[in-house]
Every structure is written in structure tokens, then in C-alpha cells.
Amino acid sequence: MKRPANLIWLIALWVMLWGSLTLANLAGGIIVALLVTTFVGRTRSDPIRLRPWSGIRFLAVSIQLLVASTLDTIAAIVRPSTVRSAVIAVSMLTDDDVVVTAVANVVTLTPGTVTVAVTDAPVSLFIHVLRFSDRAAVERDVRRLELAAARAVGVDLRDRSIRDPR
């Protein structure tokens, strides 16, 4: 039952990315969807368990950070002042590939920040911050994203001594 749903989703995504429903786009989407569902799989033994409400919360946290960062970047453009940028390392609470990738991508999508590198053992994100003022604030934002992403895909972080930094 999962494979047909994945095929339909991937075909629809392919057509949306191309921007028009044509026979060629539909055929290309079918080919790509078949290849992806045949050859690409989750490498870990536990499947991704997408939790819709937690996914919506992750999206809300991402949008909140995106809007705040956009306004901050606009303020930097309108009122140029001394820009103090920095590259900081933020340790992750999990080594789950899906969570780390989601957090790294949202950080990169947020204006004024870019994920420069990801390291293993321990997993850390190296983030370039354009208007750096407070390391704790950057870490708090990354932690909020990480916790929301972990909940959205069903990664259990209860065994770690963490608190939700709201």
C-alpha cells in the first residue's frame, strides 16, 4: 500500500516542479518515481514515521524563523551598520540523517544563515551567521528546529536530558 502512494506523490511532485501537466512531464515523473521507489530506500532499520501534526509544528517553527530572519536581514539592508558575522558550531542532539538534513536545510533557507558543514562524532552543524550577536540565540533556534523535526519524523529524544527551548 505504501509504494502506490509514494509513486503518486512523487509523480505529482515531479509535475509540480516542472510547472505544467504534459504527457512528457507525466511520463518523466512515472519513470523517476519508479526509479526512486525501486532503488532508494531508508538505510536505517527503522522507517520514517511522519507525524502530521508534528510536521505542521515543524513547518510553523521553520516559517517563524524564516520571517524573523527575513525582517532582520531587511533591517540590515535598510540601516547598514557594522555587520559582525561568525561561523559557529552547534552540536546536534541526534545523529538521525533525516533530522540533521532537515535542520541543515532550513538553516540554509533562512536569510542571513548558511550551513557550511556537517560533521560526525559528534554530529555538529557549522553555521555562518551574517548578523551574529548571540551564540545562545542561534543554538536555541537550531535546537527548536531539531526538536520539531525529530517529533515530525518520529525520532525519540526522550532518553536525552533535554528541555524544549520555547
In a domain, 165, yes or no: no
The answer as to whether 62 is a domain residue is: yes
Query: Can you give the pLDDT at residue 163?
Result: 43
Residue 165 pLDDT: 46
Instruction: Give the sign of the dihedral formed by CA 2, CA 52, CA 113, CA 98.
Output: negative
pLDDT of the residue at 31: 86
pLDDT computed for residue 8 by the predictor: 85
Residue 159 maps to a domain: no
Look up the domain containing 148 and give its range: 57-153
Identify the pLDDT of residue 48: 63
Q: With respect to residue 26, please indicate whether it lies within any of the assigned structural domains.
A: yes
Output the pLDDT for position 124.
93
| Torsions phi, psi for 118 (to 5 deg) | -130, 130
Which CATH number goes with the domain that contains 145? 3.30.70
Distance (Å, rounded) from C-alpha 147 to C-alpha 50?
Answer: 14
Alpha carbon distances (Å) from 57 to 104, 145, 161: 17, 10, 22
Residues 61 and 34 in one domain: no
Q: Is residue 21 part of a domain?
A: yes
**Count of structural domains, the chain:** 2
* Tens-binned pLDDT, residue by residue, of the chain (166 aa): 466 777 888 888 888 888 888 888 888 888 888 877 776 655 455 566 777 888 889 889 999 988 988 888 888 788 777 778 899 999 999 888 888 988 999 998 888 899 999 998 789 999 999 888 889 999 999 999 999 999 988 887 765 544 444 4
Q: Give domain status of residue 48, yes or no.
A: no
Asked whether residue 163 is assigned to any structural domain, the reply reads: no
Nearest to 138 by CA among 94, 70, 95, 88: 88
Q: Are residues 67 and 24 in the same domain?
A: no
Quick one: 140 and 64 in the same domain?
A: yes
- Listed as own residue / partner, the contacts of 43-47 with beta carbons closer than 8 Å and 24 or more positions apart are 43/97, 44/96, 44/97
Same domain as 129, residue 65:
yes
46 within domain boundaries: no
Cell 516542472 identifies what position? 18
Same domain flag for 61 and 143: yes
Tell me how far the alpha carbon of residue 39 is from its chain's centroid. 23
